[in-house]
């Protein structure tokens, strides 16, 4: 069986829409109707009029789409595709943290469970976090969770003093500032592109800090011919596709038993699972209706603010 042909056939016959994050394997990105960062995927899901939406990404992305489109069938090829960052913020502990700091606006990264979003005033992604934080008065007391690196970066560039939840992504924490500095010394003409989930010593080496979509856009428009890329290696597929004459060097992680610049959760989705998921219309994401009713407000607020800010 030709898996790609079969996926295309089922995709057409069922009028399904396939969305893929930039961290998916290249073959999945190529089959998708739309490939984007977390913000674009949420924006796309909110506008989608198909009955079946296949989210080729991780669980929280499927959950966000389901919360925005409760009447649609939202499928994720492998429901066990989780996220270490979302897992670093258990809802009961986050609820205690929020309760311990009354009077704070709660801003949560989209990489969270629906239950954490339900405790949140406004959701953000790496593509809009800075601008959304800046849309609040400078003295607004803010709790920001769960990514301590993204939160510290926003505090540094905005001068805010947001209270940070102590969570992180296991992939972005792995990048080694020493190895990136050595690569830069070997290729002084290269620009260093860094995702803000990386540690501050890596962010300090960056020419550009931004979401996957921001880094891609910069690579396309830059006059530079060579880039060192410190984020999950899946983004290199689209970078190389859009800029075939430029060179993209994946930033190396520190050595160690778990050293890898690929997200093992993202890579749980495969062509075989995408095919089976379209064929069986399963596994589908379900969200507890009470949780969804509370989580939808901060997600919609993010979409409204993003539209107002032109993002």
Contacts with ligand 13P, 147-186, as mask; x by CB under 6 A: ----------------------x-----------------
> Which tokens go with 271?
């062509």
By CB under 6 A, the residues from 144 to 173 that bind ligand SF4 are 169-172
Q: Note whether 108 binds ligand 13P by CB under 6 A.
A: no
Angle formed at CA 24 by CA 302 and CA 205, multiple of 5 degrees: 70
Per CB under 6 A, the list member of 58, 192, 202, 203 interacting with ligand SF4 is 58
Q: How far is the CB of 290 from ligand 13P (least distance, A)?
A: 26
Per CB under 6 A, the list member of 24, 84, 211, 306 interacting with ligand SF4 is 84
CA distances from 152 to 97, 121, 129, 238 (A): 18, 19, 12, 28
* Nearer to ligand SF4 (CB atom), residue 23 or residue 275: 23
Query: What is the secondary structure of 249-306 as a DSSP string?
Result: EEPPBPSSTT--SS-TTGGG--HHHHHHHHHHT-SBP---HHHHHHHHHHHHHHHHHH
* Nearer to ligand 13P (CB atom), residue 6 or residue 87: 87
Angle formed at CA 235 by CA 198 and CA 170, multiple of 5 degrees: 35
Please, where are the H alpha helices in 71-199?
84-87, 91-100, 114-117, 129-134, 148-158, 177-186
Q: Note whether 24 binds ligand 13P by CB under 6 A.
A: no
Burial of 257: CB neighbours in 10 Å, binned 0-12, 13-18, 19+: exposed
Only one of the segments 100-108, 123-131, 219-227, 270-278 lies at the binding site for ligand 13P (rule: CB under 6 A); that segment is: 123-131
Per CB under 6 A, the list member of 22, 165, 227, 265 interacting with ligand SF4 is 265
Q: Note whether 127 binds ligand 13P by CB under 6 A.
A: yes
Which residues sit at the interface with ligand SF4, rule CB under 6 A? 58, 83-85, 111, 169-172, 232, 263, 265-266
């Amino acid at each position: 069986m030709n898996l790609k042909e079969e996926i295309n056939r089922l995709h057409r016959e069922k009028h399904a829409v396939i969305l893929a994050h930039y961290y998916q394997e290249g073959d999945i990105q190529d089959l998708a109707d739309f490939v984007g960062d977390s913000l674009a995927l949420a924006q796309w899901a909110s506008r989608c009029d198909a009955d079946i939406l296949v989210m080729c990404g991780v669980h929280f992305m499927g959950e966000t789409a389901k919360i925005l489109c409760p009447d649609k069938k939202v499928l994720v090829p492998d429901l066990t595709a989780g996220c270490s960052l979302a897992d670093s913020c258990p809802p009961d502990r986050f609820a205690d943290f929020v309760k311990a700091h009354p009077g704070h606006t709660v801003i949560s990264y989209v990489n969270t469970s629906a239950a954490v979003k339900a405790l949140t005033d406004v959701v953000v992604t790496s593509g809009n976090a800075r601008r959304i934080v800046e849309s609040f008065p400078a003295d607004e007391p803010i709790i920001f969770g769960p990514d301590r690196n993204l939160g510290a970066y926003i505090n540094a560039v905005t001068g805010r003093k947001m209270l940070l939840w102590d969570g992180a992504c296991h992939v972005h924490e792995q990048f080694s500032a020493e190895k990136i500095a050595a690569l830069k010394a070997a290729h002084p003409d290269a620009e260093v592109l860094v995702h803000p989930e990386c540690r501050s010593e890596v962010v300090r080496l960056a020419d550009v800090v931004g979401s996957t979509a921001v880094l891609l856009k910069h690579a396309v428009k830059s006059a530079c011919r060579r880039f060192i890329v410190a984020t999950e290696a899946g983004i290199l597929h689209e970078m190389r596709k859009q800029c075939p004459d430029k060179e993209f060097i994946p930033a190396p992680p520190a050595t160690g038993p778990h050293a890898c610049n690929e997200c093992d959760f993202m890579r749980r989705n495969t062509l075989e699972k995408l095919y089976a998921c379209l064929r069986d219309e399963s596994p589908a994401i379900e969200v507890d209706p009470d949780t969804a009713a509370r989580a939808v407000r901060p997600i919609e607020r993010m979409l409204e603010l993003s539209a107002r800010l032109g993002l």
